[in-house]
Amino acid sequence: MKKLLTAAVLSAALATPVLADTTKVGFIYIGPVGDFGWTAGHDRARREMVEHFGDAVETTIVENVDYGADAERVMTQMAISGMDMIFAASFGYGPDVNAVAGRFPNVAFQHATGYIQDHPNISLYDARFYEGRAVLGHIAGKMTETNTIGYIASYPIPAVVSGINSAYLHAKAVNPDVSFRIIWTYSWFDPALEADAAETLIEQGADVIMQHTDSTAAIRVAEDAGVMAFGQASDMVEFGPNAHLTAIVDRWAPYYISRVQAVMDGTWEAQNSWLGFADGIIEMAPWNDRMPAELQAEADALVAAIAAGEYHPFTGPINKQDGTPWLADGEVAPDVDLATMNFYVEGITAELPN
Amino acid sequence: MILGSINPAVLLAALMVAATPILLAAIGELVVEKAGVLNLGVEGMMIMGACIGFIVAVNTGSPFIGFIGAALGGMALALLFALLTQALMTNQVASGLALTLFGLGLTALLGQRYVGITPPRTPKLDLGPLSDIPFLGRALFTHDIVVYLSIVLVAAVWWFLKYSRAGMILRAVGENHDAAHALGYHVKRVRVLAIMFGGACAGLGGAYLSLIRVPQWTEGMTVGAGWIALALVVFASWRPWRALAGAYLFGGVVVLQLNLQAAGVRIPVEYLSMSPYLITILVLVIISSGKGRSLDAPGSLNRPFHASS
């Protein structure tokens, strides 16, 4: 309900008269820009993009747009009102983007973390979050004293599942006794529920909390309980100066700038981009001082190795949860396996919901 | 299965905390609906309370004053609703929805500078030896004052509606406003007061989220709690103690499913987390199937009143 209500539209170029050659770009977000997480990351990139182009670009944002009819309505409205380009910044917009893109072949659609590409005017883009999760897993495995890591997950989609697997493998590699406790919230943003989930995990013995949900509530709870946590999508250190070890920070700006530039130049083409540390699309927030210098150096080295392409977080031998082999010794996971991942790796005891 | 890691006393304690925001909002809305007014703006009034309560608590350093501010904030928004529906005779459903819209937008603006700030801590009530009782001590006697206040409020509303003269007038207004008017009662005055009470309660519920349960200010942080509170009133068939039971049932299901998941119990959690909503839908279906009378929906609910009619 709130989604249709809070549709706050703001225009970046209010003061200047709209020129004929202004590129109009629309953004739809699943959460509020003030979530300090996922949506904040996209809006940060949008602002950097506007700063880069100045008056040559005019942006419109709509926050809190639900998947389905709402998203379709908002994007249709944007297309009708003359947008040249629309960024749909959440996984679940897939069917809606494809429905609208079919009706407006002259509008360039950019869908974040999606996988459906039925029309030539849809580009998909995603970040290799599992690269960052590998670093988090390594740190968590080293820092935990109870050998229990709590994980607050949103929806069982490939990006989240591969994140859990990556974190688990790298925690296990440095700490064979480590175990993961996982809670699915079935929501991207619900501060009260995420706080409750964090409390539950801590109560059940977790002393490091990881989250793949967008609010800062879990960091706050971890800070109060005196345990450790990682931020999500943005540097969340201000919410828990002691608890916050680091965060995977999304930096979409370089990509947004290059794609808007392509529309301006008339060279825009549908792509499927999956970018990671190497492209500067994700980076780690500054390490917390409570991490030993040695561990900080290890984490730095891990980031560098992944960025340089020397190390892939999913390098065999890796078995699936049921013991069947997935990757042979030395084999690197193909992208298609990661993009469709729907299984846990061996060692995780929880059951993956459908 | 590792059920051993779930501590029932902690579960019970967490349940009460999870239930308190919706209980506060629901008990307020219950009084409003008993007076014959349907205010769908609970979500808006809650977020208003969450925001104003947070701002006041941060600036004064006192969570207690913060809660008062939250109640006043919720009440201010409720007064707007009262002005629209009671004085200007607008449609209650539309006005309520607009109130939610307005509240979410306004608080996003007001709270901008307060993101990332830690509010002053609300102390747990020191109940001395009571909290040392095994099991019950941890479950029931380790809470902050607002949890107990919410239960006292339920008792007070129950007594007020059932035994006090003012409560009977309020119910008369809600059951049949024409008859109440004919008897000389001030229908609108009663309703405006009820709406203000509802706003104050919703504001307290919102502040409980931003000052105690989360505790921080984030835009849109109520995420539907107001709608759950609304459903709870129907679920409780407008009876205060049933609202308490319903809120604890809802809180219990939420907390239980989190614990079961963390313990690695292999049950389909998506169904469990859906269950409170399913029950609500079921109740709504029963009501709309013509048996609403037996569920005690106030007779004049959502009907506008004008003295000339």
Reference B70, options B107, B23, B100; nearest CA is B107
Query: Which tokens sit at A73?
Result: 């309505």
Residue B135 has φ and ψ, to the nearest 5°, of 60, -70
Candidate from A2-16, B22-36, B241-255 with smallest mean pLDDT: A2-16
Rounded to whole angstroms, the Cα distance separating A307 from B187 reads 71
Q: Specify the residue for token string 């688990």.
A: A168
Rounded to whole angstroms, the Cα distance separating B176 from B185 reads 11
In a domain, A96, yes or no: yes
A141 and A66 within one domain: no
A122 and A62 within one domain: yes
Q: Say if residues B96 and B38 touch (Cβ distance below 8 Å).
A: yes
A136 and A108 within one domain: no
Tell whether B295 is within 8 A of chain A (Cβ). no
Reference A67, options A131, A154, A183; nearest CA is A154
In a domain, A273, yes or no: no
Residue of B nearest to A188 (CA): B223
Q: Which pLDDT score, from 0 to 100, does residue B20 have?
A: 96
A188 and A113 within one domain: no
A333 and A207 within one domain: yes
Domain count, chain A: 2
A76 and A43 within one domain: yes
Tell whether A215 is within 8 A of chain B (Cβ). yes
In a domain, A157, yes or no: yes
In a domain, A271, yes or no: no
In a domain, A60, yes or no: yes
Query: Which tokens sit at A42?
Result: 């996209």
Q: Closest partner residue to B218 among A186, A199, A216, by Cβ?
A: A216
Counting beta carbons within 10 angstroms of the beta carbon of residue B265, is it exposed (0 to 12), middle (13 to 18) or buried (19 or more)? middle
Query: Which tokens sit at B241?
Result: 């103690």
In a domain, A259, yes or no: no
Query: How confident is the model over B197-224, as pLDDT tens digits?
Result: 999 999 999 999 999 988 889 888 998 8
Amino acid identity at B56 = V
SS3 A354: coil
Predicted TM-score (pTM) of the model is 0.86
A61 and A37 within one domain: yes
Q: Say if residues B144 and B123 touch (Cβ distance below 8 Å).
A: yes
Domain boundary among A75, A92, A127: A127
Q: Which pLDDT score, from 0 to 100, does residue A327 have?
A: 95
Residue A221: which domain range? 129-249+283-339
Rounded to whole angstroms, the Cα distance separating B64 from B71 reads 11
Residues in chain A with CB shorter than 8 Å from the CB of B116 are: 36, 216, 238-239
Q: Closest partner residue to B261 among A2, A182, A349, by Cβ?
A: A182
Per-residue pLDDT of chain A (354 residues; tens, 9 = 90+): 344 433 433 333 333 344 457 999 999 999 888 777 889 899 999 999 999 999 999 999 998 899 999 999 999 999 999 999 999 999 999 999 999 999 999 999 999 988 889 999 999 999 999 999 999 999 999 999 999 999 999 999 999 999 999 999 999 999 999 999 999 998 888 999 999 999 999 999 999 999 999 888 999 999 999 999 999 988 999 889 999 999 999 999 999 999 999 999 999 999 999 999 999 999 999 999 999 999 999 999 999 999 999 999 999 899 999 999 999 999 999 999 998 999 999 999 888 887
A133 and A123 within one domain: no
**Residue A102 sits in a domain of what CATH number?**
3.40.50.2300
Q: Say if residues A157 and A116 touch (Cβ distance below 8 Å).
A: no
Q: Say if residues B176 and B169 touch (Cβ distance below 8 Å).
A: no
Rounded to whole angstroms, the Cα distance separating A86 from A62 reads 11
Residue of A nearest to B103 (CA): A6
Q: How far is A218 from chain B (nearest CA, A)?
A: 8
Tell whether A232 is within 8 A of chain B (Cβ). no
Q: Say if residues A206 and A149 touch (Cβ distance below 8 Å).
A: yes
Going by the DSSP 8-state scheme, the letter that residue A315 receives in this structure is B
Domain boundary among A95, A127, A159: A127
A199 and A107 within one domain: no
Candidate from B38-52, B110-124, B226-240 with smallest mean pLDDT: B110-124
Amino acid identity at A97 = V
Q: Specify the residue for token string 């290799």.
A: A128
Reference B143, options B12, B260, B23, B240; nearest CA is B12
Rounded to whole angstroms, the Cα distance separating B165 from A223 reads 50
A172 and A64 within one domain: no
In a domain, A261, yes or no: no
Domain boundary among A80, A98, A127: A127
A219 and A176 within one domain: yes
In a domain, A88, yes or no: yes
Reference A140, options A165, A164, A183, A175; nearest CA is A175
A223 and A165 within one domain: yes
Residue, of A91 and B125, whose pLDDT is higher = A91
Going by the DSSP 8-state scheme, the letter that residue B110 receives in this structure is H
